[in-house]
Structure 1
């Protein structure tokens, strides 16, 4: 742990897990020019999936926690792909998918769990464009999935 971003993570009490392998026929990251495209990361921590449909099985706070965990998993993929988190110049775009009941409309509040963490960790470079989308289902009934585009040096 030598970099500025790693020190910030440590000060927040965040241990970045090893990047997970894909669950199907895709790659976790793709580099194109100076952009790192990160496949959707689900809400799983220490092998335990954070599950439940928002509104009927989980509340906004549980959803925010799940989105935050997705962001930590995105950071794990960044670290695996780039080797050094200080290479991140900008979090360009996040897309958050929220497993939600038809009556649920607080998707932005849920995905803020991921957005807030990126700003906390990367400062102004963590501010990004974003979509927060409600979906009928997600793999393994997880509550949230987040994908990202990262600009790096």
Structure 2
């Protein structure tokens, strides 16, 4: 039976994918005490990688949509870290978002809002978090966005 957070996600039309496997020699998350550190999740959904460079061939709205996908992948990793029980999540502590963007692009915060807004919509107060939004000259596989996160769990 789905818990409170997954019920809310379902109401939003969101089904968490299986937690993506790491692409290299690292683990997707580390649990220490009541904290889960989730490795950077790229903008990749069932349709494949969402690629592009903000300020060149991608606009802010498309970038925010890519950031939302990263947030969904982050929650999939948290669910895996919690043994399949997303309701063990207490809160999102911090997100660090990297935006594949041109040197003159300055709307990284608007792009990462796609993830932040999603977390609050899906998790309510538990989704409110500290955050960084920074530019990157390039990201793995040419993806538009990569986001890592820190989460508190029970």
Give the TM-score taking structure 1 as reference length.
0.98
- The yes-or-no answer on 1:94 pairing with 2:95 is yes
Structure 1 residue ranges without an equivalent (≥5): none
SS in 2 for 1:111: helix
Q: How many residues align?
A: 153
Structure 2 gap segments, 5+ residues each: none
Q: Distance in 2 between matches of 1:90 and 1:19?
A: 19
Partners of 1:2 and 1:76 lie apart in 2 by: 14
C-alpha deviations, 1:4-56, integer Å up to 9, x for none?
Answer: 00100000000110011100110000011100000000000105110001010
Q: Which residue of 2 aligns with 1:38?
A: 38
Where 2:55 maps in the other structure, the secondary structure is coil
Greater than 6 Å deviation, 4+ residue runs? none
- The CA distance in 2 between the partners of 1:93 and 1:55, in whole Å, is 26
Q: Map residues 2-151 of structure 1 onto 2, 5 A cutoff.
A: 2-82=2-82, 83-151=84-152
Cα displacement (A) at 1:57: 1.2
TM-score by length of 2: 0.98
Q: What root-mean-square deviation, in Å, do the aligned CA atoms of Structure 1 and Structure 2 show?
A: 0.7
